[in-house]
Chain A
Amino acid sequence: MHIGVEYFVSVSAIVFGIGMFGVFTRRSPLILLLSVELMLNSCNLTLIAFSRYWGEQSGQVFALIVMGIAASEVVVGLGLVVAVARRKAELDVDRLTALRH
């Protein structure tokens, strides 16, 4: 059996689906952030797999940029979580509806 790019893409699709399931079902904003991390990482795996398949460095550069985006998303997300927690609000994404129109 030869491990081609399709195996890597399938694994990343499964991980993306798991992350999507987490975003839909969990309520704690921390777990939501962790699930979004899962989805971003699965995209990174796809980028790198196709970068190897085509013998092209660009995919790895994009993966690095995705890492930077994920890091800034985590920073702002955790800052929001801590700010909400400091206001003694409940950490439940279904109940944090103050900004809803």
Chain B
Amino acid sequence: MTYDIVFVAASALAIASALGVVLSVNPFYSALSLIMHLVSLATMYLLLQADFLAAAQVIVYAGAVMIMFLFVIAYLGNRADEPTRDIPLWQLGAAVVAGSAVVIEIVVAVASQAFGPGATVTDQFGNPSLVANSFFSRYLLGFEATSILLLVAAVGAVVLGSKRPSPRVDEPDAFPAPRTQPELELQAAVMGAETAFPVHHVPRKDEESS
């Protein structure tokens, strides 16, 4: 009974906050709704005995990813707001039709199946050590691929976010050539500026004799 109540509450909250993400005008409220959505999804993961994933969801998503989102929204300020133009009506209609088509299709497909009560599992199901066991043995290649993907994404983010944007090719002075200054000239320029009288080359003794 408690299970049913928790499921109904979590799913209602998940759907309501998903609507909040899509429909709210202020991007800050969208991000906050998404945090709400992720937390209610974590509750549903707990109902499905995926304990480790529920914890990872809260820590990785609601913690790290959403903080990054909120940081960028705050950094952009009012430039992050939705452009104020009216959406054409056909686009709105097409979006509603496409979205509800997916929903109806899946719900009909699921409802026509007779799902049993599901496999009986022990209490150990979904705890970190069991997930890690299959992650590091059977799905080791996927794990390695994911780590390489994360590395590539980190490098890409550094390149994209570096201070100086790469010069545009069509700009006239895009790649300025470095100025070459011979050492002696530079020295003379510096000395001349500091002394205000001409600097003469005094030959050494052995040079004089030759």
Query: Interface on A for B, CB 8 Å cutoff?
Result: 1-11, 13-22, 24-28, 30-31, 33-35, 37-38, 41, 44-45, 48-49, 51-58, 60-65, 67-76, 78-83, 85-87, 90-92, 95
Contacts and interface: CB of A to CB of B under 8 A. Distances in A.
B107 interface: yes
A95 to B, nearest CB: 8
Contacts of B160: 76, 79-80, 82-83
A74 to B, nearest CB: 5
A67 B55 CA distance: 12
A17 B103 contact: yes
Given A1-B4, A27-B82, A6 B115 contact: yes
Interface stretch (B37-45, B179-187, B199-207): B37-45
User: How extensive is the interface on chain B, given as a class?
Assistant: 35 or more
Interface of B is mostly: helix
Contacts of A79: 156-157, 160-161
B149 to A, nearest CB: 5
A16 B69 CA distance: 20
A31 B30 contact: yes
Given A6-B110, A6-B113, A52-B50, A24 B60 contact: no
Looking at B48, B126, B150, the one whose CB has the most chain A CB atoms below 10 A away is B48
A27 B30 CA distance: 14
A92 B83 contact: yes
Interface of B: 3-4, 7, 11, 14-15, 18-19, 21-22, 27, 30-31, 34, 37-38, 41, 44-45, 47-50, 52-53, 56-57, 60-61, 64-65, 68-69, 72-73, 75-76, 79-83, 85, 87, 91-92, 94-96, 98-100, 102-103, 106-107, 110-111, 113, 115-121, 125-126, 130-131, 133-135, 138-139, 142-143, 146, 149-150, 152-154, 156-157, 160-161, 165
A68 B130 contact: no
Nearest to B166: A83
Given A28-B83, A72-B153, A48 B45 contact: yes
A34 B142 contact: no
Nearest to B28: A30
A17 to B, nearest CB: 4
